[in-house]
Amino acid sequence: MNRATVATLHQLRKMRDWYVIRQASGVTLPTQKPEPLERRHFVFHGKVQKVGFRLLLKSLADRMHITGWVVNNENLDVEAEIQGTPTQLAFLEDYFMHGVRRITVTAVEEHDCDLALDENQFLIK
């Protein structure tokens, strides 16, 4: 690729990221209530890569003070470990199943895992 093409792709990615972050800032979040923390491992199947899934999840997690991580898998799934309250986890799963037209989640695998109490942020790996 020549420099002009690389620069154009960089600008397009910046615009996409701006759009995704702006979308996340407009989402109405569930009311915070005192609940014990849980940590779940998720694998999202479907059209979940190249659609801003990871950045949207990170932006929502940051707003909700949720910790964990998210990563694209080579098989085009997205994998995440998310630590928050049961209400927060249910909200995120439902939001990604039904709330974003450009994302099509066809199936979700999930299981509980051990809390990571020393974790203090949400990362895109």
CA separation for the pair 39, 85 (Å, rounded): 8
Nearest Cα to Cα of residue 119 among 81, 93, 72: 81
Instruction: Clarify whether 54 is annotated catalytic.
Output: yes
Which residue in the list 2, 54, 73, 101 is annotated as catalytic?
A: 54
**Is 72 known to be catalytic?**
yes
24, 38, 70, 91 from 27: Cα distances, Å: 5, 22, 19, 11
Active site residue: 2, 3, 40, 72, which one? 72
User: Hey, which residues are catalytic here?
Assistant: 54, 72
